[in-house]
A and B are shown apart, each in its own frame.
Chain A
Amino acid sequence: MPTVEDYVARIEETCGEEKSAIVTFKYDKKDEAIARISKKATLKSSISGIISEFVFQDISFRVFSSGKAIFKGIKNKEALHEILSALLL
């Protein structure tokens, strides 16, 4: 049974502005993770295939082709984990 941890290497809370979380996907799983997200979330915009802005369950977030994503305004780690579960699993 796959888990969020199979895809996510690290989650870091950023400083400044509204609290954001940077999710770094595991290097060998990043393409699969981005593909899964693309299937489930709605693509709002994309620049050069490098940065893609998605909406999922009224939450807007950006995914970078380097294998990182930035989620803003998420309440806490548990809430972020729930969203990642819904997106990745």
Chain B
Amino acid sequence: MRNFYENHNANVHRAVHTLSQEATEMYENAREKIARFINAKDSAEIVFVRGTTEAINLVAYSWGLRNLKNGDEVLVSLMEHHSNIVPWEILSKINGFIIKYAKVNNDGTLNYEDFESKFSRKTKIACLSHVSNVSGVINDVKRIAKVAHEHGALMLVDGAQSVPHMTVDVQDLDVDFLAFSGHKMLGPTGIGVLYGKKELLEKMAPFQGGGEMIKEVSFSQGQDQCSISWNALPWKFEAGTPNICGGIALMEAVKYLESIGMAEVLKHEKVLTEYAVKRMQECSKVTLYGPSDLSLKCGIIPFNVEGLSSHDVALFCDNYGIMIRSGFHCAQPLHQVFKLQSSARASLYIYNTREEIDRFVEVLKEIEQV
């Protein structure tokens, strides 16, 4: 990021001068790199956005606004982050379509039978997180995508918690849209990606209007109006000056993750998760949530401590320099499934160690004395 701002800082696709050419090359190289990272067919399928939330909103407003109508159905699971619920709820109030919510089992796993039984010819899109941001449960999105396509529906996957942690191959999964964020995968905040199949993106109208996303804005004096044509993919969806440095920094994060290998990243997290769960089970007042079969999940561990609110637990941990989330984690419906008022959440990544887990458990044992 420092290199970009010190040596190459200019707008992209705007000017003929050297700095702009350098910035453009770096930014488009980032797009290429990220396309290969998720095995997209074409870098034109990679749209830079602010993050997962904006990516889903882009699909909702660009595709949903024009393709969903009264009588149609959108299928969403109850384990979704609010960012994969609220845009559809807002849009349903405008377009009058129905949202069907697929059930989640008591252990946090997806109820596949319920999800699949809710598909019909009215279903236009199914929206599912690849990994739950609360329980860490990994969903078989390939299975759901197959069923969606059999019913003529599209498949949108929230990959915010999967792309940073495991190999995600959009062609193998055969999903139509995949959304993910840079800040969850060692990149900066304010940058994320919407992957969309090229043939779908081609048919979609722009999400926002402005510079860069147009090919031509031609004013006809005779008719007193402008005639506008859109830019090619993916720039049709990138109105205004993009987060150039963010895109380039995300490329560097991807390079770093690839240097480790995504299989190794996942393996490290699985080992740490098993260790953390085992150690946390030593704490008599700690209740863990999620499936007991740890092969079904990755490094997200929701829990509560008897007699304390999740915020008390998080503040106590904070005193020791241990940062954990507390509350609903933007997934209130899933907490209702778990019959929880809130939860604390320990989450693990490649930089965490066994020693840190030991320290965390020591602190949990102290908290139990409160």
Q: Which residues in A have some Cβ–Cβ distance to B below 8 Å?
A: 14-18, 20, 22, 45, 47-48, 50-51, 53, 62, 64-66, 68, 70, 72
Contacts and interface: CB of A to CB of B under 8 A. Distances in A.
A16 B310 contact: yes
B298 to A, nearest CB: 23
A47 B369 contact: yes
13 contacts: A15-B342, A16-B310, A16-B327, A16-B335, A16-B341, A17-B342, A50-B319, A51-B312, A64-B318, A65-B319, A66-B318, A70-B312, A70-B315
Given A47-B370, A51-B370, A70-B312, A16 B326 contact: yes
B326 A14 contact: yes
A68 B318 contact: yes
B116 interface: no
Please classify the interface of chain A as helix (H, G, I), strand (E, B), loop, or mixed, using the class held by over half of its residues: strand
Interface residues of B, number: 20
Interface in B314-370: 315-316, 318-319, 326-328, 332, 335, 341-343, 366-367, 369-370
Contacts of A14: 311, 326-327, 342
Contacts of B370: 45, 47, 51, 53
B316 A64 contact: yes
Interface of B: 309-312, 315-316, 318-319, 326-328, 332, 335, 341-343, 366-367, 369-370
A47 B341 CA distance: 25
Contacts of B369: 47
Given A14-B311, A16-B342, A51 B316 contact: yes
B362 to A, nearest CB: 12
B319 A17 contact: no
Contacts of B366: 47-48, 50
Nearest to B343: A16
B315 A72 contact: no
A84 B71 CA distance: 53
Contacts of A22: 311, 315
A18 B327 CA distance: 11
Nearest to B342: A16
A17 B341 CA distance: 4
A17 B115 CA distance: 29
List 3 A-B pairs, minimum CB-CB distance, nearest first: A16-B342, A17-B341, A15-B327
Contact of B315 (A17, A48, A66): A66
